[in-house]
Structure 1
Amino acid sequence: MSAPTYIYKLVSFSSPVPDPLPEKLPLSELDVASGFIHMSTPLQVPRTLKRFFAEDPRIYILRVKYSTVEKNIKWEDSKGEVPGEVGAEGMFAHIYNRGLGTTEIESVAIWERNRDWDEPLKKAESWLVY
């Protein structure tokens, strides 16, 4: 599979993304514990959202231009234990040895959950670009 144009970072409502964006955002507890920044392709966003953010009333989604972080990415399973091919099923983009901030983040969306995440996902289809 070809490399994506964008990859996405989902951020819980409990860690609001500052506006304006800082030069570097703080890492989440999960990212610090894992040793890398967890990212999703647009095809993975719905599953990531429903699995890890199902009860959040809102989330922040950071759209990152892949080419700005490509040299720091390893494609691996969700735990970072098994390497894989770019964009392969079950493989996630993990960013090592760098943070995210104004240089990498192309745009930020704030999604509000209704009963579930289906409506916000439908509205964002044109924004979730592979």
Structure 2
Amino acid sequence: MSDRPTTAYKVLTGEQMATLQRDGRFAGAPVDLADGYIHMSTAGQLTETVDKHFAGQDDLHVVAVDLGSFGASLKWEESRGGQLFPHLYEPLLLETVIAYAPLERAPDGTVRLPVSG
């Protein structure tokens, strides 16, 4: 469907970010490995994802991923509250990352999106 976003976001710990940068790929966090896919969020879902799954954690990074890089390995599936989330059924490759930055919040509490460049 063309109305779906072309960019998704993955929250990584500092250690996971270092793995992605060092190895050029990230197989997934423990929850991803357990579920069989890499959980990602759209821009509109990101703050709620961080609040729900990463509360109280430091040294977090937000990675912006080009969804056009994936074919059938990317599926939009129903999750929290019936929303469709992008799920990646293969390792996340560094070459598909278009931007990344340490997790920061805007004054209104929302998570700032990383900007490429």
TM-score class normalised by the smaller sequence: 0.7 to 0.9
**2:10 maps to 1:5:** no
Higher RCO structure, 1 or 2 (CA under 8 Å, sep 6+): 1
Count of residues in Structure 1 that have an aligned counterpart in Structure 2: 112
Higher strand share: 2
Q: What is the aligned counterpart of 2:85 among 88, 92, 96?
A: 92
Letter in 2 for 1:90: Q
1:45 Cα shift?
A: 0.2
The runs of 5 or more residues in structure 2 that have no matched partner are none
Which contiguous aligned blocks of 4+ residues in structure 1 show a shift greater than 3 angstroms? 117-123
**2:112 maps to 1:124:** yes
Is the 2:26–2:93 Cα contact (8 Å) retained in structure 1?
A: yes
After superposition, the CA RMSD in angstroms is 2.7
The verdict on how the C-alpha distance between 1:70 and 1:109 changes in structure 2, with shifts beyond 3 A counting, is farther
- TM superposition score normalised by structure 2: 0.78
Q: Percent identity?
A: 24
The verdict on how the C-alpha distance between 1:100 and 1:18 changes in structure 2, with shifts beyond 3 A counting, is same
Higher helix share: 2
- TM superposition score normalised by structure 1: 0.71
Is the 1:111–1:120 Cα contact (8 Å) retained in structure 2?
A: no
Partner SS, residue 109 of structure 1: strand
In structure 1, what is the equivalent of residue 70 of structure 2? 69
The runs of 5 or more residues in structure 1 that have no matched partner are 80-88
**How is 1:97-112 mapped onto 2 (pairs within 5 angstroms)?**
98-112=90-104
Is the 2:28–2:37 Cα contact (8 Å) retained in structure 1?
A: no
Is the 1:12–1:53 Cα contact (8 Å) retained in structure 2?
A: no
